[in-house]
Structure 1
């Protein structure tokens, strides 16, 4: 179609519902319209669903962007940001904007979304009161956490709880105030709500239920909340999360029919010709939806209609809900309360903290609730939407007896029709995913996400997307079989072969292993010799004799070689704590041996740079401090904040715990370098969530995060579990490290190890299986008993110092 003859389409609103409609239109008829998008916020299209992740710090703003500026340019879309539509002239078909400009339209889509509801009570206009709706709200909350201690969140629904967890992560003391006796009462029954409350209390959030806020007290700024029963809550900051109000002013002013929202028909058309409304701003058959999946379903119908294609009318949506809080899995779909005429299938395991409930009407599945384990959420939602008849097979799957030997794990996705929607957030069907895999040669979930948008928004459909990928690729699917990697070019044997040979034949020397396994190169190489040496020490710690020739030069000399041929010396400073005496020694050594630079490292210790090789033993002798193992595949650092000892926000003794952990596990060899961090509160100053083993303290105990990496391959750590006592924390740290030592490949960081094994498998071994945990702890204690610090020997043994000095000069 000639560009000059294209119809003009104007979209008011640059949010998820409107842009998703445009995305679908571009797939159906990319040249039909000349498109202009008017966006009030000064950003491209971003994912509001992930604001909670942005607030808690697990994602950046860049992570939330769905369509960047180049996307608009590539699709010929004129994007106007930071400008607001102020008037629609239905007679002349023009939209006026806040900057005085006009935009003519042939077709107009209103996707203005909604505003947060604010309680109509005295004091609501004071400083320190915000909603939780957009990027600016996130920034206000983050800024407040830097200054104030106490936060109150009014509203115990989905958004309120996500805001509360985000503020808790920012280090604030958070109290959720809720009008009802149950949290998320629109999605959960009392049993699931009680489990959710208990879990969040354990994380550190406090609750005041059955509380009606009647006034906000303070002068210019909020000081406290006044409740109807006469009680008060002192607070410095308030987040309102009590619902949303569709934005209808623009539509009402131009004469469109408006109820609670802009009234639309089954094709999203308003009361005016060529004017449509999609998303939270509209009202369809008396309902205004606030969840993303229904809005995308509306967008799919509207896109087909505007492209002149046959479309099934939109008849409303069955909604599902997932709570986006790290460490808390909650899912709800359809009906959820016990009512007359409903049959209930219910399973509750308080030890595992799981709950499953399915509701039937005349033997058809009409709703369900999952807590703790939401692995069945996609299947359950499908059954609820279809009001599937309950069968023996479905019942077996729900109660956990269908995963028997011989059962096909892909049976569910195989039976799905091609036109069934897999990603409700982006309207992606099973057929679209399969077509993209075969036509584009896709082989990973990330590639599917980029190509189709599936799993791009909330991520809830990712397991099903992966199952479809496995089904489509069959034997070509990388996840369906394990690629055997040999240890190096000197052998065809892999890690498992080597460890089995060491254990079965009780091999205790590197050359023994090479001989038994018929190494091609009997001298080995710099890749396999250190690996074999490590595996021998891991399997037989009590009989291990470290072979120095099988270690890297840095490990042999206890210093990292630099590009100019000099070395670095890094004394250990437990938990980042030092003393004036240690500082004086470091300064004296730096002067005496003409050290080029003394620098504070990212691991909270001092590094001496530019040390001559011949001076290494003398420097270590005069320092009289243990090595910080900055060169080793071992525990490098335990970074700490000042914690409850000094910080006004600190709830736990992070310094003390950091020193205990560092002294316990120092000098223990591991598959790769290992870093830890301990925070005294959720403000996370020690950056626990990019460490191999990160700990965050709160009033209820400790949260343990694992598998983080702040290096080249950036990875946020996963929440492993929460513990209440220091003893549990130390025990789990030992079990985790030992399991990593026993199952990690030599040179494999925990970030890659967790991706390979999967967090659930690791949690099963060290958290859920307490007997297995005890066995791991016993084995690491055995390994720890045989440890010694060679540099302590250097300091204490004059003869050894001279021998080492001579060896350095010879080499």
Structure 2
């Protein structure tokens, strides 16, 4: 797929979705010299765009709802953006170039689909019962906070980033929380075994009950259509007044598929974020580039740069995949990871572990270049490691110092610019 179609000042740009990706795109488009005069945004939620990354501290009570707001409704109006909130698009008519919502019909010259995703529900009986929740929206966070403050038992399905953040938030609000992880360890896509065990021990000390290698059998009905328990395939029964599903996401790609756009797991896009129809682009969690779909913000922010250029720039920017780093957003737990979780035969492994301080670092190098890192406890060097990995820097000269700090490693990499003893003393 390839597109040369770009907005002109006379065009009407319609964006379906008012999440973080859509909002970041708007911030760039409205600053473009040849931005479209007419921009309409349709959002299914009742509130303007907010920072979903902060839903976890909101649930735990560390933040108030207004801290999540990205812009007020007046910001949109002042920039000539028409905002339709609390509406769902029901149909895209590509022939007539219009979108139909529950309340109106809008013609478009250029269309962006940024409909995000929803929780992936395990295929087991009982998932439709009352008391089963996701954790994706402000409404979800409000609901879960209310449930937790009333106490009782909650089961979180999923031991990844979102599941652990939801579980800790529920615990801090007063719930008795169980976490079910299908794999052998928590955050199996980001952590090695040692870091996962450290994380599990820390969360267990806080009061979370964690079950790994736990396979769901079904959710038990209380006889009135509400969930009463989670039953595992080994026969264990975990009583629960509420169940939170955080075991992956499903792209909201149905609108694109129904409109005849090319889809696989999500709406297929090329390296300019154009779909199989050059007048329509897709962005964020609802799109698929090559074999990749998305759930983290870093690649989506890079998509926004490309799409803004495609719509209002010179159309030269191209999207490409790049490594991303992971941080866990749980108060009091510092974790930073990127790259492979397991070492191959070609990797050199450097590791450091201080059990008393809970500090752990493991680096994976191939031919002197850093390919992966896991840091637990002291994560201050994480961004430096990540930058060196992205740059493909040969770290052979500082190999012995790599585990013990950025300053020592940099001094070996560039001895001519290393601080003198007097400079170091003054800085201290």
1:267 — aligned with what?
Answer: 272
The correspondence for 2:293, drawn from 288, 297, 304, is 288
Conserved? CA contact 1:131–1:137, under 8 Å: yes
Distance (whole Å) between structure 1 residues aligned to residue 309 and residue 258 of structure 2? 28
Distance (whole Å) between structure 2 residues aligned to residue 396 and residue 338 of structure 1? 20
Conserved? CA contact 1:156–1:184, under 8 Å: yes
Conserved? CA contact 1:334–1:384, under 8 Å: no
Q: 1:10 to 1:212 in 2, by over 3 A?
A: same
1:108-147 to structure 2, matched below 5 A, reads 108-147=111-150
1:212 — aligned with what?
Answer: 215
| Per-residue deviation, 1:378 | 1.4
| Per-residue deviation, 1:401 | 7.5
Query: Could you state the TM-score of these two structures normalised by the residue count of structure 1?
Result: 0.49
The correspondence for 2:191, drawn from 185, 188, 193, is 188
Q: Which has the higher strand share?
A: 2
SS in 2 for 1:224: strand
The correspondence for 2:172, drawn from 169, 174, 177, is 169
Distance (whole Å) between structure 1 residues aligned to residue 9 and residue 27 of structure 2? 21
1:564-713 to structure 2, matched below 5 A, reads none
The correspondence for 1:318, drawn from 311, 314, 323, is 323
1:39 — aligned with what?
Answer: 43
Conserved? CA contact 1:336–1:359, under 8 Å: no
1:235-314 to structure 2, matched below 5 A, reads 235-314=240-319
| Per-residue deviation, 1:27 | 3.0
1:102 — aligned with what?
Answer: 105
1:360 — aligned with what?
Answer: 365
Distance (whole Å) between structure 2 residues aligned to residue 130 and residue 401 of structure 1? 43
1:78-93 to structure 2, matched below 5 A, reads 78-93=82-97
| Per-residue deviation, 1:194 | 0.3
The correspondence for 1:156, drawn from 152, 156, 159, is 159
| Per-residue deviation, 1:389 | 1.8
Conserved? CA contact 2:9–2:36, under 8 Å: no
| Per-residue deviation, 1:106 | 1.0
Conserved? CA contact 2:148–2:171, under 8 Å: no
Q: 1:394 to 1:108 in 2, by over 3 A?
A: farther
1:632 — aligned with what?
Answer: none
Conserved? CA contact 2:156–2:178, under 8 Å: yes
Distance (whole Å) between structure 2 residues aligned to residue 257 and residue 306 of structure 1? 20
1:711 — aligned with what?
Answer: none
2:4 — aligned with what?
Answer: none
| Per-residue deviation, 1:235 | 1.8
Distance (whole Å) between structure 2 residues aligned to residue 394 and residue 7 of structure 1? 55
Q: More relative contact order in 1 or in 2 (CA 8 Å, sep 6+)?
A: 2
| Per-residue deviation, 1:281 | 0.2
Which deviates more, 332-341 or 23-32? 23-32
Conserved? CA contact 2:126–2:218, under 8 Å: yes
2:181 — aligned with what?
Answer: 178
Query: Could you state the TM-score of these two structures normalised by the residue count of structure 2?
Result: 0.91
Distance (whole Å) between structure 1 residues aligned to residue 95 and residue 390 of structure 2? 41
1:345-744 to structure 2, matched below 5 A, reads 345-393=350-398, 396-400=401-405, 402=407
2:332 — aligned with what?
Answer: 327
Conserved? CA contact 2:90–2:100, under 8 Å: yes
Distance (whole Å) between structure 2 residues aligned to residue 225 and residue 374 of structure 1? 36
The correspondence for 1:21, drawn from 19, 25, 37, is 25
| Per-residue deviation, 1:386 | 2.4
Conserved? CA contact 1:8–1:106, under 8 Å: yes
Gap runs ≥5 in structure 2 = 1-7, 418-425
Q: 1:360 to 1:134 in 2, by over 3 A?
A: same
Distance (whole Å) between structure 1 residues aligned to residue 406 and residue 315 of structure 2? 43
| Per-residue deviation, 1:363 | 1.9
Distance (whole Å) between structure 1 residues aligned to residue 315 and residue 43 of structure 2? 30
Conserved? CA contact 1:323–1:329, under 8 Å: yes
SS in 2 for 1:195: helix
Conserved? CA contact 1:109–1:277, under 8 Å: yes
1:7 — aligned with what?
Answer: 11
1:667 — aligned with what?
Answer: none
| Per-residue deviation, 1:147 | 3.0
| Per-residue deviation, 1:145 | 1.8
SS in 1 for 2:14: strand
1:338 — aligned with what?
Answer: 343
Conserved? CA contact 1:11–1:110, under 8 Å: yes
Conserved? CA contact 2:16–2:89, under 8 Å: yes
| Per-residue deviation, 1:6 | 2.3
SS in 2 for 1:46: coil
Question: Residues 240-279 of structure 1, C-alpha deviation per residue, up to 9 Å, x if partnerless?
Answer: 1110000011001110000001000000000012100010
| Per-residue deviation, 1:309 | 1.7
Distance (whole Å) between structure 2 residues aligned to residue 334 and residue 354 of structure 1? 19
SS in 1 for 2:300: helix
| Per-residue deviation, 1:394 | 6.8
| Per-residue deviation, 1:353 | 0.5
Runs of 4+ more than 4 Å apart: none
SS in 2 for 1:259: coil
Conserved? CA contact 1:364–1:390, under 8 Å: yes
Conserved? CA contact 2:44–2:87, under 8 Å: yes
Conserved? CA contact 1:396–1:402, under 8 Å: no
Distance (whole Å) between structure 2 residues aligned to residue 212 and residue 5 of structure 1? 55
Distance (whole Å) between structure 2 residues aligned to residue 395 and residue 129 of structure 1? 51
1:679 — aligned with what?
Answer: none
| Per-residue deviation, 1:375 | 0.6
Instruction: Flag the structure with larger Rg.
Output: 1
Root-mean-square deviation (CA, aligned residues, Å) is 2.2
Conserved? CA contact 1:12–1:109, under 8 Å: yes
Conserved? CA contact 2:324–2:338, under 8 Å: yes
Distance (whole Å) between structure 2 residues aligned to residue 28 and residue 397 of structure 1? 43
Distance (whole Å) between structure 1 residues aligned to residue 186 and residue 51 of structure 2? 25
SS in 1 for 2:380: coil
Q: 1:351 to 1:30 in 2, by over 3 A?
A: farther
Conserved? CA contact 1:148–1:237, under 8 Å: no
